[in-house]
C-alpha cells in the first residue's frame, strides 16, 4: 500500500485525481444545482464553486509541472483523463536491478516527478546528471540532477539508439531537431488534440517511418527522389544473387531495429528471392518479438509482398500477431491473413482457440474471434 502511495505522489497521479474532482465543480450544471438549493447552502455552494475553480487552477499548475510540455499541448482536462487510470511501478532492468527514480506505466513513464508519454518521446539526451527529453513534435523538457546510475541504464534499455550522451561543453539544443515537428506534421497535422486521441503506437510507427524517409531524402516513395534510400539499403543487402551470410546478418540487424521504407521492403523481397541458393529465406525475417513493434511492422509488410503458398511460411508469425487485439500489429496481420485460403485459416483458428481458452487469455480469444468473423466462421467453443 505504501509503495502504491509513493508511486502516486512521485508521478503526480495523486494530484491529478484531486484536480479531476475539482474540475467537476466547473461544469455549469453543477453550479445551477448548487444555486437552486437556496439559503446558507446556496452560499456554501457558491464558495465551493469558487474553491473548485481556485483548486483546479492550483492543481492545473501542478499538473503542468508533473506533465511537461504535453499538459500545455493537450490541455489540462484531457491530460488528467489520459493519466487518471495509469498505474506505475518501478522499472526493472534486464539484470534485475530496480530503478528507484524511474517508474513505468502502460503508456507513460515517470522520472524526477515528471510524466512523459513513452511513445511520444523521440529522443533522450544525457549531459552529466541532466536529461533532456525531445518530443516527437519538437518540444523539449529537462529533468535535472538525476544521480541514480540505474536510471540511466533503464532509459538506455527503453530508448536504445535514441538515448544519447553528450559532453559537458556541448549544448542540449540542436537546430536539426525541427525535423521532428516537420515529420509529425506530415503524419497528423498541428492539432495537439489529434495527438491525444491517436493510437500512440500506430502514431509512433508512422512518425519513425517519416523520419527515416527524411533522413534518406525520400518523402516521395516510388519516384526518383528515393534513389538515395535505395542506395543506402542496397549497400546493406548487397547485389542481388550475391548475398553472403555477412550481408544477411547485417540486413537482419537493420530489419529488426529500423522502420523500413516501402521501397526497402521491395528491395529485401527481391534479395530474398535471388539469394535463396545462398541461404536467404523469408523465415529469417519472421521472428515475432512482442516488444519490437518496428520489426513486426516490417515483417507484416514483407509477408504481404508474397502470394500464397509462398506466404504460408509467415503463418505462425501472423497468428502470433492475433494474440493481442489491442495492438496495431493485429489489424495489419489480419489483413494479410484474409488473403490466405479459408480452410487452413479456420483449422489454425481452432487449434489456437483451444490454447487460448486453456490459458484464459481474453485478448487472444478476442483476436481469434475477430479473425474468424472475417471468414464468417463460427469458432469451436
CA 320 to chain CA centroid, Å, is: 19
Q: Where are the domains of the chain?
A: 2-83, 89-179, 226-374
Q: How many residues does the chain have?
A: 381
Nearest CA to 10 out of 122, 93, 86, 118 is that of 86
Tell me, what's the pLDDT at 289?
73
Residue spans of alpha helices (H) in 38-161: 39-66, 70-74, 76-83, 149-159
Cell numbers standing for residue 285 = 525475417
**Cis (ω within 30 of 0) for the bond into 309?**
yes
Tell me, what's the pLDDT at 341?
92
Query: What whole-number distance in Å separates Cα of residue 76 and Cα of residue 62?
Result: 10
- CATH code of the region 89-179: 2.30.29
How many CB atoms sit inside 10 A of residue 285's CB?
A: 24
Express each pLDDT in 234-255 by its tens digit: 777 776 666 677 788 888 888 8
Query: Are 80 and 23 contacting, i.e. CB atoms less than 8 angstroms apart?
Result: yes
Q: How far is CA 108 from CA 143, 193, 373, in A?
A: 16, 17, 33
Query: What whole-number distance in Å separates Cα of residue 23 and Cα of residue 16?
Result: 10
Per residue of the chain (381 residues), what is the pLDDT tens digit?
Answer: 445 445 544 545 455 555 444 444 444 444 444 444 444 444 454 455 455 545 444 444 444 568 888 888 888 788 888 888 888 899 998 888 998 889 998 889 999 888 999 999 988 998 888 899 999 888 888 898 888 889 999 999 888 888 888 765 555 555 456 778 888 888 876 555 678 888 888 888 888 888 877 766 544 444 444 455 555 677 777 766 666 777 888 888 888 888 888 888 888 888 888 887 777 888 888 887 776 778 888 999 999 999 988 899 999 999 999 988 877 788 889 999 999 999 999 999 999 999 999 998 888 999 999 999 998 888 765
Query: Are 274 and 241 contacting, i.e. CB atoms less than 8 angstroms apart?
Result: yes
> What is the rounded (10 degree) CA torsion for 357, 361, 364, 368?
20
Beta bridge partners of 121: 135
Burial class (CB in 10 A: 0-12, 13-18, 19+), 360: exposed
What 3-state class would DSSP assign to 206?
A: helix
Tell me, what's the pLDDT at 230?
56
Beta bridge partners of 164: 125
> pTM, whole model, 2 decimals?
0.65
Sheet with 140-143: strands ordered across? 140-143, 130-135, 121-127, 163-166
Amino acid at each position: 500500500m505504501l509503495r502504491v502511495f509513493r508511486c502516486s505522489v512521485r508521478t503526480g497521479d495523486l494530484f491529478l485525481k484531486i484536480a479531476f474532482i475539482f474540475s467537476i465543480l466547473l461544469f455549469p450544471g453543477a453550479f445551477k444545482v448548487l444555486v437552486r438549493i437556496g439559503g446558507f447552502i446556496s452560499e456554501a455552494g457558491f464558495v465551493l464553486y469558487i474553491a473548485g475553480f481556485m483548486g483546479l487552477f492550483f492543481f492545473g499548475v501542478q499538473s503542468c509541472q508533473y506533465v511537461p510540455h504535453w499538459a500545455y499541448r493537450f490541455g489540462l482536462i484531457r491530460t488528467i483523463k489520459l493519466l487518471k487510470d495509469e498505474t506505475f511501478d518501478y522499472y526493472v532492468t534486464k539484470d534485475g536491478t530496480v530503478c528507484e527514480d524511474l517508474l513505468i506505466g502502460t503508456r507513460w513513464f515517470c522520472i524526477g516527478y515528471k510524466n512523459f508519454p513513452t511513445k511520444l518521446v523521440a529522443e533522450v539526451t544525457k549531459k552529466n546528471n541532466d536529461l533532456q527529453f525531445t518530443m516527437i513534435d519538437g518540444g523539449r523538457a529537462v529533468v535535472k540532477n538525476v544521480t541514480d546510475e540505474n536510471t540511466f541504464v533503464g532509459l538506455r534499455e527503453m530508448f536504445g539508439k535514441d538515448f544519447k550522451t553528450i559532453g559537458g561543453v556541448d549544448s542540449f539544443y540542436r537546430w536539426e531537431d525541427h525535423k521532428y515537428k516537420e515529420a509529425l506534421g506530415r503524419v497528423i497535422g498541428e492539432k495537439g488534440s489529434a495527438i491525444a486521441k491517436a493510437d500512440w503506437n500506430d502514431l509512433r510507427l508512422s512518425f519513425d517511418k517519416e523520419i527515416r524517409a527524411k533522413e534518406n531524402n525520400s518523402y516521395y516513395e516510388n519516384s526518383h527522389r528515393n534513389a538515395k534510400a535505395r542506395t543506402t539499403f542496397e549497400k546493406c543487402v548487397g547485389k542481388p544473387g550475391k548475398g553472403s551470410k555477412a550481408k544477411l546478418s547485417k540486413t537482419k540487424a537493420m530489419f529488426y531495429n529500423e522502420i523500413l521504407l516501402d521501397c526497402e521492403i521491395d528491395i529485401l523481397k527481391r534479395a530474398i528471392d535471388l539469394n535463396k541458393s545462398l541461404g536467404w529465406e523469408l523465415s529469417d525475417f519472421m521472428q515475432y518479438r512482442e516488444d519490437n513493434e518496428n520489426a513486426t511492422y516490417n515483417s507484416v509488410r514483407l509477408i504481404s509482398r508474397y502470394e500464397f503458398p509462398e506466404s504460408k511460411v509467415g503463418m505462425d508469425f501472423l497468428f502470433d500477431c492475433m494474440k493481442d487485439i489491442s495492438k496495431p500489429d493485429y489489424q495489419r496481420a489480419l489483413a494479410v491473413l484474409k488473403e490466405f485460403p479459408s480452410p487452413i485459416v479456420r483449422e489454425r483458428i481452432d487449434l489456437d482457440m483451444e490454447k487460448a481458452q486453456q490459458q484464459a487469455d481474453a485478448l487472444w480469444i478476442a483476436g481469434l474471434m475477430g479473425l474468424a468473423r472475417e471468414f464468417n466462421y463460427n469458432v469451436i467453443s
